[in-house]
Chain A
Amino acid sequence: MDLSLLETLNADRDARRAAILVTDLETGAQRLVRQGDDLADDPLGEDLKKRFRSAKSGIVEDAAGKAQFLTVSVPPPRLVVIGAVHISQALVPMAEVAGFDVTVIDPRTAFATPERFPERVLKPDWPQDVLKAAPLDGYTALAALTHDPKIDDYPIQAALEAGCFYVGALGSRKTHGKRLDRLKEAGVADTVLSRIQAPIGLDIGAASPAEIAVAVLGAVIAALRKEAETR
């Protein structure tokens, strides 16, 4: 691969732009196709469109029957964590290793310190303000971990509206019951509220903050991959 082509592909990935690298497996010739490019005249147009949707790499044949390998690159899933709490300190590095773009939002400056979190993930501000600048979307998971309604309620509602692929909220059943009452009062339908996972995380008997982080990350991955299977 040309180094310049690799640099272009990596720049697209950094900018969260989907791209497909097309490799002719006989000649080794390569080209890069970006999502949004006009594919009307592309010999692999239909295949490329399909692959942008499925996000799966694989071999296709061109009109001449020659094998072309498509390396499909779609934006990595995002994880937005509400609360710069103890669980989040374990969750951030694990989620980054698993390939997620991670953001931690907490307006409480005692929690949201650069000593406790890497600055690249930390947004020490109200969720309302942070999410205005970087809205939630369907490639994003949201984990609300403060169990403070003043901080958690707004992003939970925003995540449900944005169609986040996972929405989880920390708190006892009693805490969650009260949360549901508040959200219902705010006009969120029951069918929508049932999308909130509470208690949060896989049921693995997690006890420590780090174990709870594993349970949360497991639930997020399950939502991402198992839903994708049935899509």
Chain B
Amino acid sequence: MPHVNSGQDNEAVRLDPLKIAEAWSRAGRKVALATVVETWGSAPRPVGSHLVIDEEGDFEGSVSGGCVEGAVVSEALDVIASGKPAMLEFGVADETAWRVGLSCGGRIRVYVEPVA
């Protein structure tokens, strides 16, 4: 975990994905930001939740309770490489659900964008 900002080195900042995205980006790391933009049914994290990912696959924050973070991280690496945002969808209605779906039975859409 990098030192974010000595002036505000409290627990909330240490775990704040938007602060981490800024700090990582300033430190010269290539960064993508994933945001839950829509949920249906029971979803583990509310709309507006963030996951921040760097080009090494390091991440902080969450867009689900750990169910789909792995898939979001690997898509984020493509977004970092291409510089183009992407929309991802996960849920039981989706065939990918059998691989990385939400065990709670909900569906979520996640927007992934580069930070640069």
Q: Hey, which bits of chain A sit against chain B, CB under 8 A?
A: 1-3, 6-7, 9-10, 13-14, 23, 25, 28, 56-59, 69, 71-72, 76, 93, 96-97, 99-101, 118, 120-121
Contact = CB atoms under 8 A, between A and B. Distances in A.
A63 B3 CA distance: 43
Given A28-B113, A71-B35, A93 B22 contact: no
Given A2-B116, A71-B48, A96 B11 contact: yes
B115 A10 contact: no
Contact of B116 (A3, A23, A58, A71): A3
A69 B38 CA distance: 9
Interface in B53-109: 84-85, 87
Nearest to A28: B85
B47 A118 contact: no
Contacts of B18: 6, 9-10, 13
B1 interface: no
Q: Is the interface of B mostly helix, strand, loop or mixed?
A: mixed
Interface of B: 8, 10-12, 15, 18-19, 21-22, 25-26, 33, 35, 37-38, 46-48, 84-85, 87, 111, 113-116
Contacts of A118: 10
B8 A97 contact: no
21 contacts: A1-B113, A3-B22, A6-B18, A6-B115, A9-B18, A13-B18, A23-B113, A25-B37, A25-B87, A28-B84, A28-B85, A56-B47, A56-B48, A57-B46, A57-B47, A58-B37, A96-B12, A97-B15, A101-B12, A120-B8, A121-B10
A18 to B, nearest CB: 14
Specify which of A3, A6, A72, A97 lies most central, judged by the most chain B CB atoms within 10 Å of its CB: A6
Contacts of A69: 35, 37, 111
B37 A97 contact: no
Contacts of B35: 69, 71
A76 B12 CA distance: 10
Contact of A58 (B11, B15, B47, B113): B47
A72 B26 contact: no
Contact of A3 (B8, B25, B37): B25
Contact of A1 (B12, B38, B47, B115): B115
A96 B8 CA distance: 11
Contacts of A76: 12
Given A118-B10, A120-B10, 8 more contacts: A10-B19, A14-B8, A25-B87, A56-B47, A57-B48, A58-B38, A59-B37, A100-B12
